[in-house]
Amino acid sequence: MARFNTLSPEARRILINKGTEPPFSGEYDQHFVPGVYVCRQCNAPLYESSSKFPSGCGWPSFDDAIPGMVNRTTDADGMRTEITCANCGGHLGHVFTGEHLTAKNTRHCVNSLSMQFIPEAEYQQNYETAVFASGCFWGTEYWMAKAPGVIATTVGYAGGNVANPTYRQVCNGDTGQAEGVRVIFNPKEISYEQLVQLFYETHDPTQVNGQGPDIGNQYRSVIFYQTQQQQEIAQRVSDSLREKGYNLATKIESLNNFYPEQDLYHQKYYEKQGSLPYCHIYEKKF
């Protein structure tokens, strides 16, 4: 579950009540320093400084967001497109296209008070990313999101050969993708090893190409590592389970790409439904 920071009244007016700060008043309007802009409410990373550009509109402008971290919805008036934090739903601003200001032809117009800036060196020290697949990504995300030290989670697809697949394509089994979850975490609060252990304790890693009643290659059990250190940790934890007698079906694979699921219906599914996973049950194994 998203854990929220205490907001000032003005920040609350914008993030919660969907207000707008006056143009040219925000601290990040003319701010161009290497780093990452995170949500002021939940600390989820939203934009990299490399995507920021001087638009002259009076608000911080970005031509792209970190994949899967910013949602788009049509305003009630049907005219503009609102952008919100995918992790906590906080209001960020609006997105515009067709202005030809950058090669991507997109402008995320964001309130400074919706964000906090983290210099690049500090961000690299405080944030790491892990990707796991353990059956239906709803259940995998449910348990990962609850862990202390986890900043944000995003469901999507990894391990296949089709770029930006749809949910239907993956369900048809034609893409080679596994339903997975990207986890952004603070290693000072939770280690990668603890996340690997949680991964194993919240699904049946002995089931081949499926989880519970969900059968198919897209539901296979995989740890997708991104560094040699992650690979070594995943292997060590896996070996410890084998020594306990578990016949693991889990694969340990290098992460090539992760494609976030674009349909918001699938993101934070159990949090929105207020229900529990049907085939991901916690069982202490370590």
Catalytically active residues are: 109, 136
DSSP 8-state secondary structure symbol assigned to residue 218 = G
Angle between helices 228-243 and 192-201 (to 10 degrees): 40
In eight-state DSSP terms, residue 192 is H
Residue 28's SS3 state is coil
Alpha carbon of 133 to those of 65, 114, 156: distances in Å? 24, 31, 9
Sheet holding 106-110, edge to edge: 61-62, 106-110, 91-97, 81-85, 70-74
Taking alpha carbons only, the member of 197, 223, 189, 208 closest to residue 43 is 189
Q: How far apart are CA 243 and CA 232, in angstroms?
A: 16
Residue 192 Cα distances to 61, 107, 130, 188, 198, angstroms: 33, 35, 8, 10, 10
Q: Is 77 helix (H, G, I), strand (E, B) or coil?
A: coil
The DSSP line for 257-282 is -EEE---GGGTTHHHHHT---SS---
Q: Are 24 and 30 in contact (CB under 8 A)?
A: no
Q: Strand 150-158 to strand 258-260: parallel, antiparallel, or no bridges (unpaired)?
A: antiparallel
Sheet holding 128-134, edge to edge: 251-254, 221-225, 128-134, 178-185, 150-158, 258-260
